[in-house]
Amino acid sequence: MKLGVIGYGARISWIVELIRKQAPECSVAAVVDVRKEGIKRGVRGQHVEDAVLYETPDHMFDNVHLDGVLIGTHCSLHTPMALKVLPHGIPLYLEKPVAITMEDLVRLKRASEVSTSPVVVSFPLRVTSLVKLVKEIIGSGTIGTVEHVQAFNNVPYGGVYFHSWYRDENETGGLFLQKATHDFDYLTYVLGYKPITVCAMTSKQVFKGTKPAGLKCIECDENQVCAESALRPENASSGEYCCFATDTGNEDSGSALVRYDTGMHLSYSQNFMARRKAGTRGARFIGYKGTVEFDFYSGVVKVYMHHIPQVRTYEVDSGEDHFGGDAELVRNFIDVMHGRAQSIATLEEGMQSALLCLAAKESAQTCQFQSIDYEAV
């Protein structure tokens, strides 16, 4: 099984490593990357040592038959590169967000309508053991129908969105598209409802400042006392640029209210200033008969019954790397390439999540409720 990779960054190299562990018959045969030969000196470079490097996706497709393609470029290129792959009908593993603008989302939707490429979108949270268990409990009717959700993501590694290339909003599209796209996806998946309206708000209160644009931590005269300094071991993987400089983009917190087609609504908040044990990610699903709550970091699911004195607790070995979800998605992508399974994280679901994130971003910018316009895509 020959794989092609467009944008061989750290994230996609990890996915390739998981593929190789589960399916040794798969190998990277072709790579398109602006770094060219430099990727062979990168992280886990052993997986591309026999790959042929190509200048463009078109050049790659003209010269090698591939069984699957993975896209791991910067976010702004996810749609343009997907548009290069979809006409070939080849199974595609596409990193999230699938698009960062409405224009790209419309282009992607149109291309998907005439493509036979099965697509697995990088939404690992929806396939974790934790989310599967929560969905099973809700589906059993134990708590009744879900009538309210309180969801949260207090990101303990948030510095990466201000120290590294992620700080460029032209590349990320903002942090609803970077983080909330995962959460909106698994929440909607668990509920089985359709989001129809969103209002949102963002703040930038911490990661801003007057340090010179382009300043690197190693060049700063405060790098020994700054809690965010990249010279500190706990921040070493976040990036090298000052997160208190004038060119630091992205909000550092955001919240959204989402109304679904049943009439119920969901509240969601994320922030990027939490650290260490303050990191939490999960939700409370509330029905008339009971409440289900869980946290990815603790691996604990609790069911609180409302009308009897009973609390049920489940402890789940959630694993590493998106709490075990990456390995599940990879297994699915391998099966899709072999023609023995359908995608469990489809391009349509990826586009729906991106649409909700874009509407939330628009709401935050305009201070107005936004309808989720499915007809626009």
* Residue-range domain boundaries for the chain: 2-123+326-343, 125-206+249-320+354-376, 208-248
Digit-coded pLDDT (tens) for 336-367: 999 999 999 999 999 999 999 999 999 999 99
Is the per-residue pLDDT at 102 higher than 90? yes
Going through 63-206 in order, the beta strands assigned E by DSSP cover 68-71, 92-94, 119-121, 148-154, 195-203
| Distance (Å) of CA 47 to CA 12, 27, 258, 347 | 11, 7, 42, 27
pLDDT at 43: 42
Q: How far apart (Å, rounded) are the C-alpha atoms in residues 159 and 178? A: 13
44 pLDDT exceeds 50? Answer: no
Q: What is the mean pLDDT of residues 243-268?
A: 96
The residue type found at 40 is K
CA–CA dist 63, 282 (Å, integer): 45
Q: Is the pLDDT of residue 326 over 80?
A: yes
Strands 68-71 and 92-94: parallel
* pLDDT value, residue 46: 58
Cα separations in angstroms, 328 against 5, 53, 145, 325: 20, 29, 28, 5
Q: Are strands 148-154 and 195-203 parallel, antiparallel or unpaired?
A: unpaired
**How would you classify residue 207: left for phi > 0, otherwise alpha for psi between -120 and 50, otherwise beta?**
beta
Question: 30-44, 71-85, 130-144, 353-367: which range is least confident on average?
Answer: 30-44
Cα separations (Å) of 320 from 65, 104, 164, 253, 327? 33, 32, 23, 25, 9
Give this prediction's pTM.
0.94
Superfamily of domain 125-206+249-320+354-376: Dihydrodipicolinate Reductase; domain 2 (3.30.360.10)
Q: Predicted confidence band at 37 (pLDDT cuts at 50, 70, 90)?
A: low
pLDDT of residue 36: 67
The three-point CA angle 257-343-56 to 5° equals 95
Residue 35 has pLDDT above 80, yes or no: no
Query: What's the burial of 131, exposed, middle or buried (CB within 10 Å: 0-12/13-18/19+)?
Result: buried
Give tens-digit pLDDT for 162-198: 999 999 999 999 999 999 999 999 999 999 999 999 9
Among the four given CATH numbers 1.10.760.10, 1.10.3260.10, 3.90.230.10, 3.40.50.720, the one describing domain 2-123+326-343 = 3.40.50.720
Please determine, for residue 210, whether its predicted confidence score (pLDDT) is greater than 70: yes
* Tokens standing for residue 79: 């749609």
Averaged pLDDT for residues 305-333: 92
* pLDDT, the chain, mean: 94
Whether 261 has a pLDDT exceeding 80, the answer reads: yes
Burial 238-275 (b: 16+ CB within 10 A, else e): bbebbbbbeebbbbbbbbbbbbbeeebbbebbbbbbbb
Q: What is the pLDDT of residue 312?
A: 97
Structure tokens at 346: 């489809």
Q: Is the pLDDT at 28 greater than 80, yes or no? A: yes
How far apart CA 33 and CA 202 sit, in angstroms, is: 34
What are 47-64's pLDDT values in tens digits?
677 889 999 999 999 999
For residues 72 and 99, the answer to whether their CB atoms sit within 8 Å is no
Half-sphere CA count of 213, side-chain side, radius 13 A: 4
Question: What is the pLDDT averaged over residues 19-46?
Answer: 78
Using left for φ > 0, alpha for ψ between -120 and 50, and beta otherwise, residue 236 falls in: alpha
- Beta carbons of 7 and 77 less than 8 angstroms apart: yes
